[in-house]
Amino acid sequence: MVEINQEKCIGCGKCAEDCVARNIKIKEKKAEVKADCIKCGHCVAVCPVNAVSIPEYDMDDVAEYHEECFRLNPRNVLNAIKFRRSIRSYQPKQVTQEDLELLVQAGRYTATAVNNQGNFFVIVQKECEELKERVWRFIDEMEECNKGHISADKRPFIRFNQRRKADSSDDFLFRNAPAVLFITSKWPLDAGLAAQNIETMAVSLGIGVLYNGYLARIVEADGELKKWLGIEGKTIQVCMLLGYPARNYRRTAPRKKANVIWR
């Protein structure tokens, strides 16, 4: 439940006005919570006297607004978006734990449908080599079981496996990235929004990202691998390779003109 400190509350009504569930009322010049809610936290964020809390959350993590923290130059933001690249070559060093934790925070604070906060993040770095071994073992088994009857959706994985067997240094599927991030969710959009925020944070940290749909599909198909990752019963919506880029890009890449209707 949302709690309102009656001694602090000044009865301004801002929390009631901003409550999407209309779950707060003003009674005798004090705010009161009528029933349980989705705990979106708008009431916490809008209160001018910090009288509202949600005890089941970490209230020490709530930050105060300071205008200087939000002075983003629109042109700089657009340039950051335009300079973003899919990174397919990484430096041979691990991503720091501090940077990884910032990526998780960026994902954790992303909007989710009805505030379900259902995204689950798995970052594999220390055990990345074991992840690779398990993935290739599963692909080997898939190839063995489907000899002569390889369906179109499985052919890319067989080609990756053939490349690996022909040249053990060809790490086409993992791109020699030091870390892999999986995002599970019931809602694809929730995971996609979190991934975008994570990538934005990654760019600010000098970390490169590559969305890897192939790896997401193969891990999603391997029940034992999902169990090893601790996400049995969950649905992988996003897979991202992470690492410090091995190449520098000197300019933005060209794009088609925007498909847009102005009305």
Residue labelled with tokens 């604070």: 109
Give the pLDDT score at 70. 80
Which stretch of DSSP H or E encloses residue 82? helix 74-82
Give the pLDDT score at 44. 97
Cβ atoms within 10 A of the Cβ of 39, count? 17
d(CA 101, CA 95) in angstroms, rounded, equals 10
Give the pLDDT score at 148. 65
Which stretch of DSSP H or E encloses residue 217? helix 213-221
Give the pLDDT score at 27. 94
DSSP conformational letter for 239: E
**Is the model's pTM score more than 0.85?**
yes
- Contact assessment for residue 190 and residue 116, using Cβ atoms and an 8 Å cutoff: yes
Distance (Å) of CA 198 to CA 74, 145, 161: 20, 38, 30
Give the pLDDT score at 98. 98
d(CA 58, CA 10) in angstroms, rounded, equals 24
Give the pLDDT score at 143. 83
Which residues does residue 74 pair with via DSSP β-bridges, in sequence order? none
**φ/ψ (deg, to 5) at 123:** -110, 120
pLDDT in tens, the chain (263 residues): 899 999 999 999 999 999 998 999 999 999 999 987 899 999 999 999 999 999 999 999 999 988 888 888 999 999 999 999 999 999 999 999 999 999 999 999 999 999 999 999 999 999 999 999 999 999 999 888 877 677 787 788 888 888 999 998 889 999 999 999 999 999 999 999 999 999 999 999 999 999 999 999 999 999 999 999 999 999 999 999 999 999 999 999 999 999 999 99
DSSP conformational letter for 22: -
Nearest 10 degrees: Cα torsion 247, 95, 117, 203: -30
d(CA 164, CA 153) in angstroms, rounded, equals 19
The amino acid at residue 61 is D
- Contact assessment for residue 34 and residue 21, using Cβ atoms and an 8 Å cutoff: no
